[in-house]
Structure formats: structure tokens, C-alpha cells
Amino acid sequence: MITAKVTSKGQITIPKKVRDELGIQPGEEIGFESKGGVVYIKKVIRKSPFDKWVGKLRTRDKQKTDDIIDELRGK
């Protein structure tokens, strides 16, 4: 088991081995989840706010956004 000490401000340093395993980089967000007395840490992966619109927007001739992007990329 890897351990870390809690500072007087309630902060911990995530051990390098754990950061490397999760691919956590400085400035990235992590989440904590508590279940049955165990706390799980996981990297938070935020989707782009625009992802929910991809494929939903249409042009006047009902062409899907994905098709427009493919055309622009020469696919």
C-alpha cells in the first residue's frame, strides 16, 4: 500500500507512482468517491462542451456536421 500524509490544510501529495499510473499531469482535475469506507481517486476527463453538438447540427440542406467535417478533411 502506498501512503501519503495529510497536511494541516487537509492537502496530500499524490505519490508519483499513482500519478503515473493514472496519467495525472499538473493542473488536471481528479475526483474522489467514497464507498463503504474506501475512497477511490480517479482522473476526471471532461468532454469538450461542443461534443454534445457534433452530429446534431445540420445545414440548410440537412447535411450532418460530421459529414461537413469529413468533407473539410478530404475524407
Residue 56 shares a structural domain with residue 74:
yes
Q: Tell me the per-residue pLDDT of 31-57, one tens digit each, with 9 for 90 and over.
A: 999 999 999 999 888 777 676 666 666
Residue 54 shares a structural domain with residue 74:
yes
Full-model pTM: 0.53
Domain hosting residue 56, numbered range: 47-75
Q: Tell me the per-residue pLDDT of 4-30, one tens digit each, with 9 for 90 and over.
A: 999 999 999 999 999 999 899 998 899
Residue 3 shares a structural domain with residue 22:
yes
Tally of domains in the chain: 2
- Per DSSP, the residues of 2-68 read ---PPPTTS--PPPHHHHHHHT--TT--EEEEEETTEEEEEE--PPPTTGGGTTT-B-TT--BHHHH
